[in-house]
């Protein structure tokens, strides 16, 4: 922070630590061995879409980049009920490199949007997991904080959270991922792709 920033009361946002996304594959092994949760093969990046031709062009370029390899999974763009845009990547959960490839794709989406000046619109990345009973759990990466938190919808589908499971997930992954300690930032991601 410089003198002018102090005088005007402005601060510069912390740069995102996108490389933390590459820690998820080892955390996925921990989740599978300790809690029986496996990656679903889906991942997504949530952002507040900007208006204008420049953003539409960058969004199209990101999708084209990810869809360029015929051996790689296609990506799609979805809008949720709250007006946020999700860029969704589908990988084969049975592929040995699946979660690693998925994290590379999510990193590329975040980095591309950031590189083109749309970083302030990035909100989070989501990696869904499922238990043996099919119940979904999400690992959410907060772009602006550079931290993760778990999101566990309660069984029954009535938009309640399983807070005990979320705390258990946080404690299980505390040694592997930078976990968000401020619980007020553990926002619900209802309607997110894969949950």
Which two tokens mark 27?
A: 């955390």
Three-class SS state of 98: helix
Residue 32 has pLDDT above 90, yes or no: yes
Q: How confident is the model at residue 4 (pLDDT cuts 50, 70, 90)?
A: low
Q: What are the sequence ranges of the domains in the chain?
A: 15-185
| pLDDT tens per residue across span 148-165 | 999 999 987 788 999 999
Q: How confident is the model at residue 9 (pLDDT cuts 50, 70, 90)?
A: low
Helix (H) or strand (E) holding 161: none
Other CB atoms closer than 10 Å to residue 162's CB: what's the count? Answer: 17
Tell me the angle at which helices 24-35 and 163-173 cross, rounded to the nearest 10 degrees: 120
Model confidence, pTM: 0.85
Mean pLDDT of the chain: 86
Query: Are 140 and 126 spatial neighbours (Cβ–Cβ below 8 Å)?
Result: yes
Say how far apart CA 170 and CA 187 lie, in whole Å.
14
């Amino acid at each position: 922070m410089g003198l002018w920033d102090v005088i005007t009361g402005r601060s510069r946002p912390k740069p995102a630590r996108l490389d933390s996304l590459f820690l998820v594959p080892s955390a996925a092994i921990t989740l599978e061995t300790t809690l029986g949760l496996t990656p679903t093969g889906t991942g997504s990046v949530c952002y507040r879409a900007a208006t204008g031709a420049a953003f539409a062009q960058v969004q199209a370029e990101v999708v084209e980049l990810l869809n360029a390899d015929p051996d790689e999974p296609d990506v799609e763009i979805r809008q949720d009920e709250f007006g946020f845009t999700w860029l969704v990547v589908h990988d084969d959960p049975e592929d040995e490199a699946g979660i690693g490839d998925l994290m590379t794709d999510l990193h590329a989406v975040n980095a591309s949007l950031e590189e083109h000046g749309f970083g302030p619109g990035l909100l989070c990345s989501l990696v869904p997991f499922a238990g043996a009973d099919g119940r979904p759990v999400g690992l959410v990466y907060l772009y602006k904080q550079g931290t993760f938190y778990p999101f566990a919808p309660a069984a029954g589908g009535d938009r309640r959270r399983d807070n005990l499971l979320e705390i258990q997930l946080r404690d299980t992954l505390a040694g592997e991922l930078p976990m968000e300690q401020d619980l007020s930032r553990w926002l619900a991601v209802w309607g997110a792709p894969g949950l």
